[in-house]
Amino acid sequence: MWFCPLDGTLLQVRHVEHSAEQEPSGHFYCVTCPYSCPIKSTVARKTFPFRKAIDDILGGAEAWDNVDRTKENCPKCNHSEAYFMQIQIRSADEPMSVFYKCVNCGHQWNEK
């Protein structure tokens, strides 16, 4: 999307027809001011949006500092002990979700 550099309005496209030997061209134009610029057939630059950092729903690495241990087999290394925490992530009438982290390999999983 292109925006007018003068007032920030979304630019519209106007196609200009030429004779048979010329290629059709177009212009970006602003509906609120006289700004106009030709549409170039080549891309001058590419810009890619930056992804926002996602918050860890469990609270990051610090959330596992003061949690309890339980007897639970790790699905990755089959170790028999894991840290666990319970978090209410659904509505209040749903049961709490239990999250585990293996004491041995650090693999994380949850009870489904």
Q: Which residue has the tokens 């610029």?
A: 37
* Annotated binding-site members for Zn(2+): 30, 33, 74, 77, 102, 105
Binding residues: 30, 33, 74, 77, 102, 105
Contacts of 13 (CB under 8 A, 6+ apart): 26, 27, 28, 29, 39
SS3 state of residue 53: coil
The residue among 56, 68, 17, 11 whose CA lies nearest residue 37 is 11
Output DSSP code: residue 33. S
β-pairing, 108-110 with 97-102?
antiparallel
